[in-house]
Chains A and B, each alone.
Chain A
């Protein structure tokens, strides 16, 4: 059938073609049918991605058998400062560094030896490995379902064609983001998805709140992207290349890629290329700043809740399932650097754990259904980073696995919220409706499944992935009881508390929305009902995913080992044992069930207790803190926005009076000089003739031989 190269190009080209087509024809020709290009293109992309994954998996070698002690030695290996000698007893399994395939499309830039640097060559190059395949599958699957859902959800919006243009463009950008094999192109499409996010958050730009939210998302992302850009610069100046893969030049020389086999297979990866340990750490942290911005981690998480001003399917696709996981993808992709740095991952883990806890705490009291889900997204992303922060293969794989399952159940929850919003005439405040389970039975059941998955109740998807995350952290904590172990142990218990809170706020939302006495807002006009089949089919399909995706944990973990970055991690830290962590599982299940039970008690049985509980916490300021989102927006305003405004005002004054004054002074001088001669320009022909004649007289007089006689 198709070759790998063709499939890879097809995956990214189809949405681009759809975007261009819809942009060109959508407004005047496609109109009500503007969804067809996007729908077909994303379906084609998904089919191509499936075929790609299938073909790629078929060509993979069997995983080498792993020796039991490998993890142990490799961990020690990593903890030694400078392991100088290649270890003689390395087995074949430890040497396996995954498999990748790159397609060079064309050369984008080539600057030869400017300023004495190595040649700056950027090829447009796509890659295939299992990590890319997994991301492509997630993006296109969720993308297809969301496009399907949007057909019903957006059906009478005046910007129908615009919406599908943006979505197609987003799918293209995201596909490129996960399949390019170069940091610069990664940065380009990192910005491209940010642009699509901005456009879609501000989709209803007539609403000031939406426009402001778009601006906020863009500006906060700038902070992160600035860090990312600095990280890319540092990579370039330290390693002299930005490619992930090794490149063999026509003259036979090898340009080792940042994540290529050449460096990864060395006993001391990167050797002295970095110059110092600090440089690696700084590069990792700068890249992580970028990841924080895109994946809404503390302290750059503030844009994500506001991003819920966009259309709900967009929240599901971009701000829950795909784009916000770009940061996770980035960290997993660059995992070898984090592993080599030996300390940057601690920051990742700490930020992840802190974000998870903080976002869950804020979500406890929010009354906006979509905001609850937004904070839950931040919290779950925090889980993923917590897993990545363990800097072990098990943790990385668990992070990706959580990303995978989270995409299903969070998209499901958002689409369910969209369904509620659709039925409620645009109202999303949980105080204004309730008891909808008889009105929206299908939404209720699918939402409930999603909520169970999010809460981590066995045997749904969230349970398995969250368990894998917590298990990885627990393992890491137990490996080295001293030093780092304390941090990981703290984070482990933080994760457990977060799990409890997650279950509580999730089911608080479920009970407030679907249980209790039936209340409908006026905007619903009394005819609250399920959406058309365009909207219900994606719900059902996602619900199936939310239930069943967890079973894929083992296969995905093994599959991911074929990715070079992760294979390197596996070589360095071992794969961890696949066994089920009974202790962790039991504790997290207890937490989840406890949270659900607590929510049921407060919001089903004894709702009057809620007020008194809130009063109790209000006394301790906790309620206000949670409800006010820790007042981070206000703190940012005071610390950043107001000083910048003052600075801007000062500069404005300077510009107005000093700079403009100087410029005006020059103008006035020239004008005054001209004013001396201005009266001469009378416009009178005779005057001009007279002037000419006077000149002629002077000329004549000078030509005569004086004195006469």
Chain B
């Protein structure tokens, strides 16, 4: 049963992705959405019951939200919409993290990803291509091939997970440890902080240095272009307004 569900999810998912990806035509998008929803349902249906109806419902909601918004991110033509949908994916992910008990990570995902990275990205998108819907956004590169490769990847992963699940012991190592009365609260934020600043102190410092270097690098990459007095030829694809010369002088 599980196998057929997975196979069905994969096949349907591939067709749905192909239909959804920008192909230069509108036709079939609704069908793709429907097929995608069915595939998503089939995929989630393979997960055994988690526990109570609330837990189960919350998981389905969060997982469905995450995957559906991810599919939208991939398939929307306007990159701004893509970014917004990606933001929704991030929220779903954050919810899943909370669901797992990783509160700090959930918060960090929202703050850093949705708050900083995604906003930067939107800025750039707005700066670069405010109108959206450029030719290259409307036409995917080899959509069927990409969709096939993607779902085959998913199928291989799922197969691997199911075979791993089969070989798993009855109780997870965490449960075994809990039974031995190890101190609870391991998932608390304070525990994570203690872990970070004791065992992983050097790595934290290195990560900080890396961030600094990336900051300097980004500034250098952008700044190298604009030197005073330099004449920048107008980009090929852009249309010069009537009043401006064909070149821009940096002041």
A–B in direct contact per CB < 8 Å: yes
Q: How far is B160's CA from A697's CA once the two chains are assembled, in angstroms?
A: 12
Q: How far is B149's CA from A696's CA once the two chains are assembled, in angstroms?
A: 10
**B190 on the A face (CB < 8 A):** no
The verdict on A700 contacting B156 (CB below 8 Å), with A686-B141, A690-B149 known, is yes
Q: Mark A689-707, 1 if CB is under 8 A from B, else 0.
A: 0100110110011011100
B152's contact among A684, A697, A705, A709, by CB below 8 Å, is which? A697
B156's contact among A684, A686, A704, A705, by CB below 8 Å, is which? A704
CB distance from A695 to the nearest CB of B (A): 11
Closest to B140 in A: A686
Which residues in window 119-163 of B have CB below 8 A to A?
141-142, 145-146, 149, 152-153, 156-157, 159-160, 162-163
Query: Which residues of chain B have C-beta atoms less than 8 A from A705's C-beta?
Result: 163
Q: Is the CB of B149 within 8 A of A704?
A: no
CB distance from A682 to the nearest CB of B (A): 11
**A621 on the B face (CB < 8 A):** no
Number of residue pairs spanning A and B whose beta carbons lie under 8 angstroms apart: 31
CB distance from A692 to the nearest CB of B (A): 11
Q: Is the CB of A694 within 8 A of B149?
A: yes
CB distance from A697 to the nearest CB of B (A): 6
Q: How far is B106's CA from A124's CA once the two chains are assembled, in angstroms?
A: 89
**A639 on the B face (CB < 8 A):** no
Which residues in window 1-20 of B have CB below 8 A to A?
3
Name the prevailing secondary structure of the B interface residues: helix
CB distance from B89 to the nearest CB of A (A): 21
**A708 on the B face (CB < 8 A):** yes
Q: How big is chain B's contact interface, by range? A: 10 to 19
Query: Which residues of chain B have C-beta atoms less than 8 A from A701's C-beta?
Result: 156
Query: Which residues of chain B have C-beta atoms less than 8 A from A684's C-beta?
Result: 141
Which residues in window 205-239 of B have CB below 8 A to A?
none
A690's contact among B145, B157, B159, B160, by CB below 8 Å, is which? B145
Q: How far is B129's CA from A115's CA once the two chains are assembled, in angstroms?
A: 80
Q: How far is B156's CA from A703's CA once the two chains are assembled, in angstroms?
A: 10
Closest to A709 in B: B3
Q: How far is B3's CA from A686's CA once the two chains are assembled, in angstroms?
A: 31
Q: Is the CB of B163 within 8 A of A708?
A: yes
Q: Mark B83-119, 1 if CB is under 8 A from A, else 0.
A: 0000000000000000000000000000000000000
Q: Is the CB of B153 within 8 A of A704?
A: no
Q: How far is B146's CA from A686's CA once the two chains are assembled, in angstroms?
A: 10
Q: Is the CB of B142 within 8 A of A686?
A: yes
Q: How far is B145's CA from A684's CA once the two chains are assembled, in angstroms?
A: 15
Q: How far is B152's CA from A697's CA once the two chains are assembled, in angstroms?
A: 8
CB distance from A702 to the nearest CB of B (A): 10
Query: Which residues of chain A have C-beta atoms less than 8 A from B149's C-beta?
Result: 690, 693-694, 697
Closest to B149 in A: A693
Closest to A684 in B: B141
Query: Which residues of chain B have C-beta atoms less than 8 A from A693's C-beta?
Result: 149, 153
Which residues in window 664-699 of A have CB below 8 A to B?
684, 686, 690, 693-694, 696-697
Q: Is the CB of A697 within 8 A of B156?
A: yes
Closest to A696 in B: B153
Q: Mark A249-280, 1 if CB is under 8 A from B, else 0.
A: 00000000000000000000000000000000
CB distance from A436 to the nearest CB of B (A): 76
Query: Which residues of chain A have C-beta atoms less than 8 A from B162's C-beta?
Result: 708
CB distance from B185 to the nearest CB of A (A): 37
Which residues in window 458-479 of A have CB below 8 A to B?
none
Query: Which residues of chain B have C-beta atoms less than 8 A from A708's C-beta?
Result: 3, 159, 162-163
CB distance from A538 to the nearest CB of B (A): 70
Q: How far is B141's CA from A690's CA once the two chains are assembled, in angstroms?
A: 11
Q: How far is B105's CA from A251's CA once the two chains are assembled, in angstroms?
A: 91
Query: Which residues of chain A have C-beta atoms less than 8 A from B163's C-beta?
Result: 704-705, 708
Q: How far is B150's CA from A697's CA once the two chains are assembled, in angstroms?
A: 10
Beyond A693-B153, A701-B156, A708-B163, list 10 extra A-B contacts (CB 8 Å). A690-B142, A690-B145, A696-B153, A697-B152, A700-B153, A700-B156, A700-B160, A704-B156, A705-B163, A708-B162
Provide a sorted-by-A list of 14 A–B residue pairs whose CB atoms are within 8 angstroms: A684-B141, A686-B141, A690-B146, A690-B149, A694-B149, A697-B149, A697-B152, A697-B153, A697-B156, A700-B153, A701-B156, A703-B160, A708-B162, A709-B3
Pairs A-B, 9 closest by C-beta atoms:
A700-B156, A686-B141, A693-B149, A704-B160, A704-B159, A697-B152, A701-B156, A705-B163, A708-B159
B→A interface (CB under 8 Å): 3, 141-142, 145-146, 149, 152-153, 156-157, 159-160, 162-163
